[in-house]
Each structure stands twice: as structure tokens, then as C-alpha cells.
């Protein structure tokens, strides 16, 4: 019994896209009309794909080691005598001119009763630079983007304002065109979207002068982007439907990648921010007060008596806002400035402290 999973080089848990990709690769490698091809291996891969790409046949094969619709067990291969010369032009030389994925997509997509996928415009992305404070508290930014958008004049219809739409003659108003094609599995009838009416079945009686009847046109568009408070460097913001438009379909999405400028004083750690504070040795010994910056306005920080080098003082709720409405903290790391040289009087005082055991 043939192991179809082994033939395609996939695991038994492989999904439909993995199976299709594996077959596509083998078909290009072994097609008999391609230089270095192997007809036997091509037929074997085709047989395996015909079973594993069909949900019902795959279930039967997994359960019984064969299918009951033909073409599943070794003796029942349904590809004997197939005329591969139909692809001769497509495999001229070393290039592959046709997409096997499209052929099988038409065949199996139709067999499984899948509906037509709605067309979708292209996603676009931009970079946006923010200051540390803007990222912390949020900000609104206006950006100007060049992209394909819905036509302002015809509002996407493709017709002049005074014109009406009429039935498409190319597809007789059906929106699709039926075609008969031959594939490695035989002759199949498939359908494709009408390129003239873009699947709508209607065309403008008089085309819009601004977009040429396409319903979309490239233009500059100004967008206002609300940056949420607490966003971090490298995060992405997705705006659905703000990407490029497409005729008779839905617009893609706009992705904004945020770049936060480094701060001269603070570094971010989650929703907390950190800073270093240099203090004098005497202030560390006796205690003192220092004015320090925050993300809003300066405040007075009390230095407790006897603080040690590297100790961290926490200032509550002076960090980055969170989604829940609270805020992180400001963490101040103390750095004691030890004098490199001492005057005679200072040295005498330190020697007295040493006698005290300090």
C-alpha cells in the first residue's frame, strides 16, 4: 500500500495548505515535459494529492488505507495513459509557465462548494516616530499618504454622475465566465471573475472621467491617527479598511509601526521608568533632598540618611500609564559620588570618622 503522506513528504497532521505546497513543489520538479522530469514520480505525486486534498477521500484513506471512489490504492491509480503533452509549452526549457495551484484550486475549490472569496485591497504600512512623552501619554498625529482610494467623483461605481450602469456584455451580467480546461485529472469546467465588470455583472454606461471607470484612483489622503497611551517602541497599530481600495471589494488595512525616541534621562521597563541620580557622599550619610525630573514636572525627592550606592528609591505613579487607567512607577537608582581627592581638613574629618568605626 502506498503511503501518500510519505510520497508528498508531509506529516499526517499536515493541513490543506501544506499538502498543496508540497505537491506544487514535486509537480514542478518531476513534470515529464520538464528537463530532468520523472513521469512515474509525477503520476505518483498527483495521485497522492488527488486523495489527500479531498476531505472525504483523505478520511477514507486514513481510516482504511484506501478510498472507495477510485484512485486511492496502488492498483486503482486513475492517471494511466494521461496525455502530458498538453503542458509541453508550459514546461519549455527550465521555466514553469503555469500555476498548478490555480488548476487544483479551481478543481477542488469547486468540488468542495466553496463560495467566491471577496476581493481585498492591498495592506500598506508606514513608520511613525514619537517622543518618549508622546508614547507615554498618547497623542493624535495627522499623516499624508499616497494610496489607491475610492474615487471621489463616482464613489466607487465607475460611472459618471449622470450615467447609469448596464449589464456587462462580456459575462451577460453573471459576473463570472465559465471555462473548460484540461488538467492532469481530466477535463473540468471552472469559472473565473469577469475582468471587465470585476464580478459585479454591471458596467458603467459612461465611464467616470476621474478614474476611467475603475471606481478607484490613486490620491493623497490625510489620516488622523490616535496613538494610545503607553505604546512601546516597535509596536504596531492596525487600522482596518484604511489601506488601499480595490474595485468592487473591500479596502486593505493600514499598519503603523511606532518608533519611540530615546529619552536623555529615562529608560522604560514595562510600565515603570528608571533614572540614575548622583548624590554627594555627605548627603548619603546625613540625608538630603534633591529636585528630580519626571514625565510631567519636577518634584522633590527625599534622600534618607545612610542610603547605599545602587539603592533604588520608588516614586509611585510617575511611570507609564496602563490600559487599566493606573500608572507605573519612577525608579531612581542612587549613585554616590565618592571624592577622588581629599583636602587636609576633609581627610582629618574622615580619619575621625574612622576612629568612630564609621
For position 249, which CATH number holds?
2.60.260.20
324 domain residue, yes or no: yes
Dmax (CA) of the chain = 108
Q: Which residues of the chain have pLDDT under 50?
A: 70-114
Q: What is the pTM of this model?
A: 0.58
Within this chain, do residues 8 and 104 fall inside the same structural domain, yes or no? yes
Check: CB of residue 173 under 8 Å from CB of residue 167: yes
Structural domains in the chain (count): 3
Contact 300, 290 (CB under 8 A): yes
Claim to verify: residue 247 and residue 289 sit in the same structural domain? no
Domain presence at residue 235: yes
Q: 242 with 288, same domain?
A: no
β-strand partners of 140: 226
- Residue 94 located in a structural domain: yes
Domain co-membership, 60 together with 107: yes
Q: What's the grid cell of residue 1?
A: 500500500
Judge if 20 and 107 occupy the same domain.
Answer: yes
254/212 same-domain check = yes
Q: How far is the C-alpha of 218 from the C-alpha of 151, rounded, in Å?
A: 8
309 with 212, same domain: the answer is no
120 secondary structure, DSSP code: B
Do residues 41 and 106 both lie within one domain? Answer: yes
| Last residue within a domain, chosen from 111, 137, 156 | 111
Residue 220 lies in a domain: yes
Q: How many residues does the chain have?
A: 358
The Cα 48–Cα 141 span in angstroms is 54
251 vs 93: CA distance, rounded Å: 40
Give pLDDT, residue 118: 72
Judge if 98 and 142 occupy the same domain. no
Say yes or no: 254 and 286 in one domain: no
At 329 the pLDDT is 97
Confirm whether 174 is domain-assigned: no
* Residue range(s) defining the domain that contains residue 23: 4-111
* Closest by Cα among 47, 8, 45 to 30: 45
Asked whether residue 256 falls in the same domain as residue 276, the answer is no
Please answer whether residues 292 and 331 qualify as being in contact, where contact means their C-beta atoms are separated by less than 8 angstroms. no
Could you list the beta-strand ranges (E) of 194-329: 202-204, 216-227, 236-239, 254-260, 267-269, 272-280, 288-292, 299-303, 312-315
Give a yes or no: residue 87 inside a domain. yes
Torsion of CA 291, 292, 298, 303, to 10 degrees: -50
CA distance 235 to 256: 8
250 half-sphere exposure, CB direction, 13 A CA radius = 8
pLDDT of residue 80: 37
Residue 177 falls within a domain, yes or no?
A: no
* Residues 38 and 141 reside in one and the same domain: no
Judge residue 79's burial from the number of C-beta atoms within 10 Å of its C-beta, 0-12 exposed, 13-18 middle, 19 or more buried.
Answer: middle
Fill in the DSSP letter of residue 116: P
Which of these three, 192, 225, 260, is where a domain ends?
Answer: 260
Looking at the domain assignment, is residue 130 inside a domain?
yes
pLDDT at site 278: 97
CATH number, domain with residue 62: 1.10.287.110
Amino acid at each position: 500500500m502506498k503511503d501518500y503522506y510519505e510520497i508528498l513528504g508531509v506529516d499526517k497532521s499536515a493541513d490543506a495548505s501544506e499538502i498543496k505546497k508540497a505537491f506544487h513543489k514535486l509537480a514542478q520538479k518531476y513534470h515529464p515535459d520538464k528537463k530532468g522530469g520523472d513521469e512515474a514520480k509525477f503520476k505518483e505525486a498527483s495521485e497522492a494529492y488527488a486523495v489527500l486534498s479531498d476531505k472525504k477521500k483523505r478520511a477514507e484513506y486514513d481510516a482504511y488505507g484506501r478510498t472507495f471512489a477510485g484512485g486511492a490504492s496502488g492498483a486503482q491509480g486513475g492517471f494511466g495513459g494521461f496525455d502530458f503533452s498538453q503542458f509541453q509549452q508550459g514546461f519549455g526549457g527550465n521555466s514553469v509557465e503555469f500555476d498548478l495551484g490555480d488548476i487544483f484550486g479551481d478543481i477542488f475549490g469547486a468540488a468542495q462548494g466553496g463560495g467566491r472569496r471577496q476581493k481585498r485591497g492591498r495592506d500598506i504600512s508606514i513608520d511613525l516616530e514619537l517622543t518618549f512623552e508622546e508614547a507615554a501619554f498618547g497623542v493624535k498625529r495627522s499623516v499624508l499618504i499616497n494610496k489607491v482610494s475610492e474615487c471621489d467623483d463616482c464613489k466607487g461605481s465607475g460611472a459618471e454622475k449622470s450615467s447609469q450602469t448596464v449589464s456587462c456584455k462580456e459575462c451577460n451580467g453573471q459576473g463570472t465566465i465559465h471555462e473548460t480546461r484540461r488538467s492532469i485529472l481530466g477535463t473540468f469546467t471552472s469559472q473565473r471573475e469577469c475582468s471587465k465588470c470585476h464580478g459585479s455583472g454591471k458596467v458603467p454606461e459612461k465611464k467616470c472621467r476621474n478614474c476611467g471607470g475603475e471606481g478607484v484612483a490613486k490620491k493623497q489622503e490625510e489620516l488622523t491617527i490616535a496613538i494610545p497611551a503607553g505604546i512601546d517602541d516597535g509596536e504596531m497599530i492596525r487600522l482596518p479598511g484604511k489601506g488601499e481600495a480595490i474595485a468592487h471589494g473591500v479596502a486593505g488595512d493600514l499598519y503603523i509601526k511606532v518608533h519611540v525616541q530615546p529619552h536623555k534621562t529615562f529608560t522604560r521597563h514595562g510600565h515603570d521608568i528608571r533614572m540614575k541620580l548622583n548624590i554627594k557622599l555627605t548627603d548619603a550619610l546625613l540625608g538630603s533632598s534633591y529636585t528630580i525630573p519626571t514625565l510631567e514636572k519636577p518634584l522633590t525627592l527625599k534622600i534618607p540618611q545612610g542610603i547605599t550606592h545602587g539603592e533604588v528609591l520608588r516614586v509611585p505613579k510617575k511611570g507609564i500609564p496602563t490600559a487599566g487607567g493606573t500608572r507605573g512607577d519612577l525608579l531612581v537608582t542612587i549613585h554616590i559620588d565618592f571624592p577622588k581627592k581629599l583636602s587636609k581638613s576633609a581627610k582629618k574629618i574622615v580619619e575621625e570618622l574612622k576612629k568612630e568605626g564609621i
